[in-house]
A and B are shown apart, each in its own frame.
Chain A
């Protein structure tokens, strides 16, 4: 069976990547290959990395509250560099009312602190398998 490859990235300025690491480990334990790039990634870096690494999906971890500005920039960069859209997932502290606008902007799914890592893995693998 084909391996699922995902990029887990932390855009923006917040300095905590514990959550991102927990998700990365959980995905590894589900058989995913997880490219992990660490803190403070710019939208350009994230998109360029996704393209070079040929990933099936990109997971963004955002705790700083700046998802409203960061996510659309990441989506635009990916669209531009990849030609098509690579599914993008967003996790972190995202207020309920911000979820619908993010999805409208093109985010495949939004995970909040209540989402289990198993649910995250399922959601990613469903969307990747759908193609």
Chain B
């Protein structure tokens, strides 16, 4: 394991691939990997790309990577696609648009399945960001599933969030209702080669003007044709500007504290949840007896829960 970690810190893609798997699958030793790597990170610029399926997120991510590489920086991508609730399987197809970077040693791309996690990302994504951050990638790009409103989670994961939409979705109003306007630092109307792109831009601008933003950063509304690489260098200028902006004036410090809080709370909740789950499975017969008592009104559910909670063993 030490050998794997040492190699991962050199951006060795074999070691990164192995460790990604260990973290994604919670294989034996995953906790130690994070213990070792966490103190080494905190330098990467983490960029989230969210928006509806088919908006061109993957195509755009690939363009952003090209732009970042042109400036001599390295980049890693974590792209999430949904797990089928029926089979537990998934088709991870984001890479189709990114394969021009497959053999570039300055780029590492890993596809992830949601595996039942709600929020547009995967449960393991925090751990994988820790890995890639420690490995020294300058920019880490997260592509969310893009199913809509739960995507607020990206806020707690990325320093800079780009919301990608396309003309004619009429999602301006929807976006406002869903609180999406709170999400993003940059709005991008992709597929600007299609009709009515300017209408969508105006819609978004109007919505943003209405949201009475008192923050120091006012989110721009940009356009792009990702399939042609158009508008991407302008986008990346804003992405870099935003990073500079939050690096000034303690914004980043605040963000870090807030995101750390999200992480700790999430890990705690998960640990409690899986500890309880394991106990219920291990001693299911005993639990059935108690359930029978509740069903006969001999005891209330709360008393049973309290009795069981005292038996939970937490190993985090």
Chain A residues engaging chain B, CB cutoff 8 angstroms: 2-3, 5, 24-25, 27-38, 41-42, 44-45, 48-49, 51-54, 81-83
- CA A43 to CA B14, docked complex, whole Å: 16
Q: Is the CB of B90 within 8 A of A33?
A: yes
Q: Is the CB of A33 within 8 A of B92?
A: yes
Q: Is the CB of B103 within 8 A of A45?
A: yes
- CA A41 to CA B96, docked complex, whole Å: 10
Q: Is the CB of A31 within 8 A of B88?
A: yes
A41 to chain B, nearest CB (A): 7
> What are the residues of chain B within 8 A of A45 when measuring CB–CB?
99, 102-103
> What are the residues of chain B within 8 A of A33 when measuring CB–CB?
83, 89-90, 92, 113
Most buried by A among B86, B87, B102: B102
> What are the residues of chain B within 8 A of A34 when measuring CB–CB?
89-92
Q: Which of B104-112, B232-240, B278-286 contacts A (4 or more CB under 8 A)?
A: B104-112
A57 to chain B, nearest CB (A): 13
8 Å CB interface, B71-118 against A: 83-84, 86-93, 95-96, 99, 102-103, 108-111, 113, 115
Among A3, A29, A35, the residue within 8 A (CB) of B111 is A35
- CA A51 to CA B14, docked complex, whole Å: 6
Can you list 8 A-B contacts with CB-CB less than 8 angstroms, sorted by A residue number? A5-B21, A24-B91, A28-B87, A31-B87, A31-B88, A37-B96, A38-B93, A52-B109
Q: Which 10 pairs between the two chains have the least Cβ-Cβ distance? A: A54-B21, A28-B89, A38-B96, A54-B17, A45-B102, A31-B89, A31-B88, A48-B103, A36-B93, A48-B102
Number of interchain pairs (Cβ within 8 Å): 87
B1 to chain A, nearest CB (A): 15
A60 to chain B, nearest CB (A): 15
B40 to chain A, nearest CB (A): 20
Q: Is B13 an interface residue (CB 8 A)?
A: yes
Chain B residues engaging chain A, CB cutoff 8 angstroms: 13-14, 16-18, 20-21, 25, 83-84, 86-93, 95-96, 99, 102-103, 108-111, 113, 115
- CA A30 to CA B84, docked complex, whole Å: 10
> What are the residues of chain A within 8 A of B16 when measuring CB–CB?
52
Q: Is the CB of B95 within 8 A of A37?
A: yes
Among A25, A28, A36, A48, the residue within 8 A (CB) of B96 is A36
B167 to chain A, nearest CB (A): 25
> What are the residues of chain B within 8 A of A36 when measuring CB–CB?
91-93, 95-96
Q: Is the CB of B86 within 8 A of A37?
A: no
Q: Is the CB of A52 within 8 A of B92?
A: no
Among A29, A42, A48, A82, the residue within 8 A (CB) of B86 is A29
Q: Is the CB of A83 within 8 A of B86?
A: no
Q: Is the CB of B86 within 8 A of A54?
A: no
> What are the residues of chain B within 8 A of A52 when measuring CB–CB?
13, 16-17, 20, 102, 108-110
- CA A29 to CA B86, docked complex, whole Å: 8
Q: Is the CB of B89 within 8 A of A29?
A: yes
Q: Is the CB of B14 within 8 A of A44?
A: no
